[in-house]
Structure 1
Amino acid sequence: MRQVRHPERDEITFIAVVAAFSDPIRVGLLRVLADGRERQWGELRAPVAKSTLSHHLRVLRDAGVTRTRQEGTRCYVELRREDLDARFPGLVDAVLHGAEGDDVGADVGVVDNASTSRPAG
């Protein structure tokens, strides 16, 4: 994986974040990452091809929603909750609340150790 650039906190824009939340898969990823845990990319489960999942993760990263780090051949992703809350207080909570109420992104989750899935959020 090439070295990726993450926007600084003050470079995160409202339009980029809202645009990143405009897709149900990305909202599902937000729901999964909202628990504050860093996730290995291979743990993430979504009803899309791996290349499409990578695209969604890149959109979230480029918008400043997530931070990605590489450790050897493994990639990890985490929600930039502190940065988002500082820039747009209450936005993440509002998106999460709306997503849960409408069940948006519920088909995105993590794969557990037994290779079965559990729902996000």
Structure 2
Amino acid sequence: MTYIQSINNKAMARFLLLCFVLFLVWTITSFGQGPKPKPDSPPPPKLPPKPDSPPPPAPCIPSGGGGGGGGGGGGPGGGGGGGGGGGGGGNPPGGGGWRGGSSCGSPSKADEASPNFH
């Protein structure tokens, strides 16, 4: 073995030993500090709450009733009958009847008991 080869082998051994010692020092100091805290991250966006019940129905707004019905035909020797009552208005539309309907969608007494003319 020549003199230059022996110098290179000794230098390489010292270099590797130095690297190993530095690695040990770095490992011990990094584990001695404990885990690093995570940087503050913004919280996830909050979703709007889901409604538990459906929205309330639209308010009942009465509107004008429908026009009156036509008069009845004249009997023998008598005059014609009077006109029918107006139809119910509102939201939703009310029912009509012989004496007029309700204005908020529910049938009135006149609608339920309307006579059956023949």
Please give the TM-score of this superposition, normalised by the length of structure 2: 0.19
Highest RCO, 1 vs 2 (Cα 8 Å, sep ≥ 6): 1
* Larger helix percent: 1
Larger radius of gyration: 2
* Larger strand percent: 1
